[in-house]
Structure formats: structure tokens, C-alpha cells
Amino acid sequence: MASSSAVGKLSREEFRRQKDLDAARKAGTAPAALDEEGKPINPHIPQYISQAPWYLDTGAPSLSHQRRPADDRSSNKLDQWYDRNVTAGPAAKKYRKGACENCGAMTHKRPDCLERPRKKGAKYTSRNIAPDEVIQNIEAGYDAKRDRWNGYDPAEHKKIYDEYEAIEAERQRLREEEIDKQTTTDMAAAGKADGKEGDPDFGSSDEEDADEDKYADAADAVGQKMDTKTRITVRNLRIREDTAKYLINLDPSSAYYDPKTRSMRDNPLQSVAPEEAVFAGDNFLRYSGEAPEVQDLQLFAWQSAARGNDVHLNANPTQGQLLHQAYKEKKEELRDSSKVGVLAKYGGEEYLETAPKELRLGQTEEYVEYSRAGQIIHGKERAKVRSKYPEDVYLNNHTSVWGSWYDAGSSTWGYACCHSIVHISYCTGEAGKQAAAASSAQNLLVGGPPPEDSTFKSSAGTGGDKGKQRKGDIDVEAEQGRLSEERKRKSRVNEGDDRFSKKTKNEEALENKKFDVTEGDLERYRRERSRMDDPMANYVDTDD
């Protein structure tokens, strides 16, 4: 408890005895601890209150750290401030050594002098020596340091009221003289027309004064300025019945209010629209109405002044506004000319046209009805999902895509338009189909690839006749007939007819023949193979 603050780290036995003593004090069987003044300490005070912090611990049971320190607060009063225009005595007659060289006062030096610098200081003239000031040492307290009106003399503000009232009285007198002069002129003109010229009091009555009295009640209204002659009401002060901004919402967490600058930037009533609220925050007023335009104009003036132009918004606002308007017009002209130049050079004006509003917002009037399974019952059919790969792209004069035809004989895929099994090859049309059929027939007949004489050669290898076949080309119809006869013969062999089981000498020779790859075959393969990395692989010569 209170005594535990004076004890450091205790042993187990000392801690047990301390706990027993605290329990006995609470039960009343042991006397209470005494502080430095001899006053008993309540044993029921919690330890976090009775125990002093380390920087205020005196080493003895005490509650002095919970009491306000007794100090002299006479020097910390809010109304105590420096005395104005108080001097230490009459001014000296001659300059004194160590005094201010400018005014001759002993309380400061020349760098700290607040008087106007003299052409010849008091050190050299010994004339108009200023009296010594009274140096006061006021130690302001916590409240006095933070009081924004500390040291303010209310009598200074009365001068503002006196000056304002004098100006208003003079303005009213001038206005009355002007109205009287105008009234006299009008009455003189009216009397001349009626034959009563020269009567200045013609047309006057007490009713005019009575009419002016009925406006006298409104003349004393707070925040109103009343001119009985012109009967014009001007609001020059805030009406005191208006609710202050910090009283609109009393919740401390609603919006932060800075009392020093009297500003509340956020909206105190978040549930009310800013357009409907009486006060929606200083930021709402700052970004509404003509305030953004003034900010743009001020920014333009700053930037122009930084670039060396003589533009100042406060000194000459009309010039700044005209220059800003000319700057915006020139900027728009440059933007339009740049846009026209780019479009004229590169084109693409059709891409700048915006789509209709219905398409941009994704709204349509089409009606689509779906079933529970997700199928369309009525309305537009669902668009098919397109692949990320290009579709229906035909290369090298092909009319079908790669993989649209399958050759069962060689178990390879190819093009259906020309039966070519070479990927990215040039399409040969019906001639390619016939060549592919003849090649497959030759492979079935001899059990291997066709001989070298059955291939197509260019005009460079045959003497200049383009598309001409060499000697030894296979007749397709005759080859198909031989294939059918071969199938019949094999079927008879399978049925057990020994007459057809013997092979001819040519067939045996063909079966025993070994197709070795020669250097000529390799060279032809290197010349005719498809090179995917060749940039001219897909080149097609369209010139005849």
C-alpha cells in the first residue's frame, strides 16, 4: 500500500510480512501508516494511487504526489500584463556612457532601439534623449500563455466604434443634404408649373415626418444599418440569433472545430446533404460557387509571376482575369491544332467517335427468357465463347485449316483442300489430292515411300516445261486396279488356295530390297524442308 512505495525489491519473507501488515491495517488491528506531516494514510486507498512514481518517490509513505503543489499564483493571473508607456523617470539632459546611441535610453542598446533611426544619434547631439523604460519580468502561467487575448486593451476596440459612428453620421448628413437639395429643386419646378414659384415650403407637411417614424423601430435592429431618408437596410454584421457552427452538432466526434481560427472544415451533419444543410463545412464553401475559379486565377497569377510576368491578382485583378482568359483560349487553339495535325499525319479519326449511350452503359431493350437449366427459351441466342487463338485464318492459299483431314495410311493429319501433310505448305488444290492418292497407293504397293522418279520436279530440273511430269509417273486408275487385284489375291491366300500363296520374283525382290538413305536424298531434304524460322517461308510471289 502506501508504505510499499518506500520498499525496493523485497525478499519472499519480507513480502509476506508486508502483506500481513497491510491486511492488519485494513482490519483495524494495526495502526495506519503516517505521512511526512504526521497524518494517517487510509489503508483502503488502492496501491496505484498511494504508490508514488519513481520521479516523485521520497522514500517514505506519503500522498504528497496526489496533492496540488502549493505555489504563489499571484504572478500567473490572466489580467497581469506589461505596463504600457511607463517610464522609470524623467529623461536625462545629456548623453550617458553606455546608453543607446540612437535615443539615449539606458535600458537597451542601439540594435534593440525601437525609435526611428536618427541622422545624428543622441550620442553626438545630446538632444531629445528618451526616458528609460521600466523592465518587467512577468512569468505567465499555463493559462496565460495560451490566452489569445492576453494583454489586449478593450479600450483600443472602442476607437473602432467611435470612428465607425463618426463616418456613418457624416455619410447620413451628406445624404440628407443631397435629398433636401433635390426636394427643393423638385418643389421649385412644381411651383413654377402651378404659378407658385418662389415658395420653398410648398408641398411640405407633417405627414412626411410621420411616414419616417414608422421605420424607426427597425433602425435599432442588431446588425442593421438604417437610413431614414433612403430607407435602405444593409446587413453589415452577423445576426446574433444565427447558430454558431460549433453548436450545430454537439457530438465531439462529429467534426473538428478549431477555436483559434474559428474554422470547421468538415460537415457537422453527415446525414444531411450539403446542398440542403445550413452549414456544410468550410471545405464545401471553398469548392462551391465561384471559389474554384478564383483559385484557378490565383494559381495562374502565381505561375505567371514565377515565369517573370508582371501579374498580380490583388494589385490588378482585371488584368489577371483577361490574361487568364487569353491563356485558356490560346491553349484550346494549340490543342485543336495539335489534334488536327496528328490526325492528318497518322489518321484514325474514325476511332475517336464515341459509341451510343445505350452501348456504353450496357443497356438494351432485348428480352431473353431462360429455363431452370439455363437454356434460352425466348430471345436472342447466347453468343458462343470464342477461343483466344485466331480462327478461320487460312495461310498459303489454303481453303481449310491444318488438321481438317486425316490420312489413315500414314496416320498423319493434313489439309482437307489439298491432302498435304506438310504444315504451312503451299496449297496445290486437286492436283495435290491426286498426288497424295498416288503416293499412298505406291506406299501400299511396294511397302515404302515412292521412288524418286514419281516426285514432282520444277522447270529448272526438266528443261523449262513448268508442271511437266517425268517418265515413270504412276497412272492413278491403273494403280487402283492393281490394288484391288492385290486385295483379292491376299483374300484367296487367306482362304487356303495354294496357287496364290507363291510370291512373284518381283515381290520378293522388292521385299528384300533395302532403302538406304544416300547423300542425294539428304541434300534434297535440306533444300525442300520447311523452315519455320525463315522470314521468307510464307512469301508468295503473285507476279505472273
Do 44 and 99 lie in one domain? The reply is no
Whether 56 is in a domain gets the answer yes
C-alpha cell at 81: 500584463
CA distances (Å), 502 to each of 7, 97, 442, in order? 124, 152, 22
Do 6 and 62 lie in one domain? The reply is yes
Confidence (pLDDT) at 472: 44
Q: Between 410 and 106, whose confidence is greater? A: 106
How many structural domains does the chain have?
2
- The C-alpha atoms of residue 327 and residue 42 are separated, in whole angstroms, by 81
- The C-alpha atoms of residue 175 and residue 181 are separated, in whole angstroms, by 10
The band of 514, judged by pLDDT with boundaries at 50, 70 and 90, is: very low
- The C-alpha atoms of residue 246 and residue 243 are separated, in whole angstroms, by 8
Whether 57 is in a domain gets the answer yes
Single out the residue of 231, 279, 228 nearest to residue 254, CA to CA: 279
- The C-alpha atoms of residue 95 and residue 129 are separated, in whole angstroms, by 7
Do 8 and 60 lie in one domain? The reply is yes
Which residues lie across from 414 on neighbouring strands?
Answer: 405
- The C-alpha atoms of residue 156 and residue 193 are separated, in whole angstroms, by 57
Fill in the DSSP letter of residue 6.
Answer: G
The H or E element spanning position 324 is helix 317-346
CA distances (Å), 543 to each of 297, 460, 535, 536, in order? 67, 18, 19, 16
Q: Could you say which of 11, 31, 66 is where a domain stops?
A: 66
Whether 257 is in a domain gets the answer no
- Give the chain's largest Cα–Cα span: 165
pLDDT above 90: residue 471? no
In this predicted model, what pLDDT tens digit does every residue of 295-337 receive, in sequence order?
A: 899 999 999 998 888 888 888 889 999 999 999 999 999 998 9
Whether 142 is in a domain gets the answer no
Instruction: Please compute the mean of the pLDDT values over residues 288-294 and round it to a whole number.
Output: 84
The band of 378, judged by pLDDT with boundaries at 50, 70 and 90, is: confident
Confidence (pLDDT) at 537: 67
Q: What is the DSSP string of 20-51?
A: HHHHHHHHTSSPPPB-TTSPBPPTTS-HHHHS
What distance lies between CA 409 and its chain's CA centroid?
68
Instruction: Characterize 106-145 residue by residue with b for buried, 16 or more Cβ atoms within 10 angstroms of its Cβ, and e for exposed.
Output: bebeeeebeeeebeebbbeeeeebbbbbeeeeeebeeebe
Domain span including residue 42: 2-66
Whether 141 and 76 have beta carbons less than 8 Å apart is answered as yes
Candidate from 127-136, 469-478, 483-492, 509-518 with smallest mean pLDDT: 469-478
Q: Could you say which of 15, 35, 66 is where a domain stops?
A: 66
Whether 128 is in a domain gets the answer yes
In this predicted model, what pLDDT tens digit does every residue of 212-227 receive, in sequence order?
A: 444 444 444 444 555 5
Do 45 and 95 lie in one domain? The reply is no
Whether 159 is in a domain gets the answer no
In this predicted model, what pLDDT tens digit does every residue of 240-287 receive, in sequence order?
A: 677 888 888 888 888 889 888 888 988 898 888 888 888 888 888 887
Do 59 and 6 lie in one domain? The reply is yes
C-alpha cell at 190: 412644381
Single out the residue of 108, 99, 109 nearest to residue 129, CA to CA: 99
List the end-to-end C-alpha distance of the chain, in Å, as a whole number. Answer: 114
* Spatial CB neighbours of 136, under 8 Å, sequence gap ≥ 6: 82, 83
Per mean pLDDT, which of 228-237, 355-364, 408-417 is the most reliable?
408-417
Which residues lie across from 407 on neighbouring strands?
Answer: 412
- The C-alpha atoms of residue 25 and residue 33 are separated, in whole angstroms, by 8
The band of 106, judged by pLDDT with boundaries at 50, 70 and 90, is: very high
Per mean pLDDT, which of 77-91, 133-147, 323-337, 490-504 is the most reliable?
323-337
The band of 411, judged by pLDDT with boundaries at 50, 70 and 90, is: confident
Whether 237 and 254 have beta carbons less than 8 Å apart is answered as no
Do 49 and 91 lie in one domain? The reply is no
Whether 43 is in a domain gets the answer yes
- The C-alpha atoms of residue 72 and residue 78 are separated, in whole angstroms, by 14
Q: Between 1 and 80, whose confidence is greater? A: 80
Do 48 and 94 lie in one domain? The reply is no
Whether 364 is in a domain gets the answer no
- The C-alpha atoms of residue 88 and residue 106 are separated, in whole angstroms, by 10
- The C-alpha atoms of residue 502 and residue 203 are separated, in whole angstroms, by 157
